[in-house]
Amino acid sequence: MRYSANLGFLFTDLPLPQAIHAAKQAGFDAVECYFPFDVPPADVAQALADTGLGMLGLNTWPGDRSAGDFGLAALPARKDEARAAIAQAVAYAADTGTQVVHVMAGRTDGGTEADATFRANLAHACDLAGPHDVTVLIEPINTRDVPGYHLSRTEHAVRLIDAVARPNLKLMFDCYHTQIMQGDLATHLRDLLPLIGHVQIAAVPDRGEPDQGEVDYIWLMQHLQDLGYSAPIGAEYKPRAGTTQGLGWLARFRDAI
C-alpha cells in the first residue's frame, strides 16, 4: 500500500512547500492538505515537482471558523460564498495538479432545504471541476467532533451521489469518522468501493497515529488491498507527540503489507 501525508495535521510547523519536502523525506508517497490558499500555487507546484509527489486533495474554504463555520455548501443563505469557495478550490487544484477537491457541507439543521442546497452546489462543483479532470469528494464527518455537520453517514452520501448524478462526484471514506458513527468498516469499504474516491485513516478514539485503538489498520489495509484498492491512503491523524516522533507506524505498515 501507498500512503499520503495529510499536511493539515502533519509537519504543520513548516511552510507548505517545506512540509511537502519533509513528507518526501519521511517516506510518504503523496501529500494532501486542507486550505492552502495563502500559499502561491506556483510554490506548491514547484515543491511537488522537486519531490515527485502528487497532491491528492484539498478542501474548500470552510468559512469563519471562529464563528463555528465548518463548510458552506449546504447553507441555503450562503450560496454565493459557497460557490466562490468552490471556484477558488477548483482553480487552485488545476494550478497545482491536485486530483480532488473536498466540498465541505457545513453545519445545518439537517432539513430538506439544506440538502437541496448541498446537491445544487455539488452539481455546480462537479461541472466546474470536470474540465480540469478534478474529482469532487464529499465526506461524512462524525457529529461527536463536529456537532450538526450536515453529512455524517455513508448512506446519506450515497443518496447525494445518486441524486447529483455526476461521474466526478465520489465519496471520501474516512475510517475514523465512519468507525465512530457506524463501525463495520470492512463491510462498508467492500460495499462502497465503487463510489470511493479517497480513504483516510487515524486511530479511534484519539485520532492519533493509526497504530493503536479500536481499529486494526494493518488488517484493514490488507482487506482494502484484497478488494483491489490501490490508491494512496491518507494519513489524516493528529500526532500524539510530534509528526517525526510518531512515524514508526509507517515502516511497520510497509513491512506488513
Does 139 qualify as catalytic in the annotation? Answer: yes
Q: What are the DSSP calls for 205-222, one per residue?
A: TT---TTSSS--HHHHHH
Pairing, β 196-201 against β 54-55: unpaired
Given the residues 32, 81, 113, 139, select the one marked as catalytic.
139
- What grid cell was written down for 205? 478514539
Using CA atoms of 190, 229, 161, 191 in order, give the dihedral in degrees to the nearest 10.
-10
Does 113 qualify as catalytic in the annotation? Answer: no
Given the residues 81, 155, 214, 236, select the one marked as catalytic.
236
Q: What are the DSSP calls for the chain, one per residue?
A: --EEEETTTSSTTS-HHHHHHHHHHHT-SEEE-S--TTS-HHHHHHHHHHHT-EE-EEE-----GGGT--BSTT-GGGHHHHHHHHHHHHHHHHHHT--EEE--B-B----HHHHHHHHHHHHHHHHHHGGGTPEEEE----TTTSTTBS--SHHHHHHHHHHH--TTEEEEEEHHHHHHHT--HHHHHHHHGGGEEEEEE--TTT---TTSSS--HHHHHHHHHHHT--SPEEE----SS-TGGGTHHHHHHHHH-
Q: What are the residue numbers of the active site?
A: 139, 236
